[in-house]
Amino acid sequence: MKTLNLGNAGLTVPVIAVGCMRINTIDRKDADRFVKTSLDLGVNFFDNADVYGDGACEEIFSAALTAVKREDVVIQTKCGIRKGRAFDFSKDHILEAAEESLRRLRTDYIDVLLLHRPDILVEPEEVAEAFGILQASGKVRYFGVSNQSPLQIELLTKHVKQPIVANQLQFSIAHANMVTEGLHVNMLDDGAVGRTGGILDYCRLKDITVQAWSPFQYGFFDGVFLGNSKFPALNTKIAEIAKKYGVNDTAIAIAWILRHPANIQPVTGTMNPERLADCVKGSEIQLSRDEWYAIYLAAGNILP
């Protein structure tokens, strides 16, 4: 399994992260098998969040690790969402959420803790205090964010001493506005609308790893584009390139993300061990420039 450096923290991780948001949809035996398969494939970086299954996903995941040495896995989780009520980056909530995640994960430390979506009422001084306490106590090693803009990260880093190592953002072939707005600079078409604030280039400049969530989805959980009749040209092109490399469409969708020089790390969401293996095959493929652009255009995007 290929690896990358997560931000500038000196932490080496697989180029693919295993998302555990749906691990509560399978039984214990299948969860054990899935985690074992992930490790056998060399994908030992697992992404969780306290809101996934209202905490159940962290518990199920940790139960599947009973025969695994803690140092052999990298555990990332997220906090900051009080479901249906508020986003909360207060010092007290971050500290409480981290303790609860530690308990559910049955571990003494979390490798990476991300702030989950922006809290508009954030007081960065409180975040700095919380991060300082968690790091000094050894309970969290590294910190990051999710779905945040360049200026939101700048506001945090004005006070937070620890480097922000990751920013988890939605990105896929069919949700590619992070690259589209870069292609349409100074144009008057819809592609030129700056919805991300230049977050992709910002993260590259600041050595922040972009983690791509929902790498097979279009819209906001509207469904997957692979095999979807709404994307005939895209699926035809992906199938053509998949045949050339002797893999399936899942591998090509992952390879497309990994081809970007920003070293974007896809966060898979599948609980199917065979499909995860297909994702890993995608990490072994280096698409050509022409292939990357052909897939981008087949998704309905245009070049100015």
The pLDDT assigned to 9 comes to 86
Helix (H) or strand (E) holding 223: strand 223-224
Residue 73: CB atoms within 10 A of its CB come to 19
pLDDT digits (tens, 9 = 90+) for 195-214: 999 999 999 999 999 999 99
pTM over 0.75: yes
Residue 36: its pLDDT value, please? 96
- Predicted pLDDT at 198: 95
Buried b (16+ CB within 10 A) or exposed e, 151-181: ebbebbbeebebbbbbbbbbbbbbbbbbbbb
Beta strands 217-218 and 223-224 are: antiparallel
| pLDDT tens column, 245-297 | 999 999 999 999 999 999 999 999 999 999 999 999 999 999 999 999 999 99
- What is the DSSP pairing of strand 81-82 with strand 86-87? antiparallel
Domain presence at residue 303: no
Asked if residue 227 belongs to a domain, the reply is yes
The sign one gets for the Cα dihedral 214, 217, 218, 223 is: negative
**Residue 52 is encoded by which pair of tokens?**
């996934």
Q: Dig out the tokens for 298 from the structure.
A: 């087949």
Task: Determine the pLDDT at residue 82.
Answer: 95
For residue 156, tell me if it sits in a domain.
yes
Question: Which CATH number covers residue 35?
Answer: 3.20.20.100
- Whole-number pLDDT of residue 219: 86
- In terms of residue numbers, what domain contains 158? 3-298
Q: Based on the structure, what is the number of domains in the chain? A: 1
pLDDT recorded at residue 267: 98
Predicted pLDDT of residue 266: 98
Whether residue 254 contacts residue 283, with contact meaning beta carbons closer than 8 Å, is answered with yes
Q: Is 52 a catalytic residue?
A: yes
With respect to residue 264, please indicate whether it lies within any of the assigned structural domains.
Answer: yes
Q: What is the pLDDT at residue 221?
A: 79
HSE toward the beta carbon, residue 77, CA cutoff 13 A: 34
> Which residue stretches of the chain have pLDDT < 70?
none
How far is the C-alpha of 127 from the C-alpha of 114, rounded, in Å?
11
Predicted local distance difference test score (pLDDT) of residue 67: 85
Place of tokens 């090509």: 252
Q: Which of 52, 202, 218, 296 is catalytic?
A: 52
Can you give the C-alpha Rg of the chain in angstroms? Answer: 19
Q: Is 304 a member of any domain? A: no
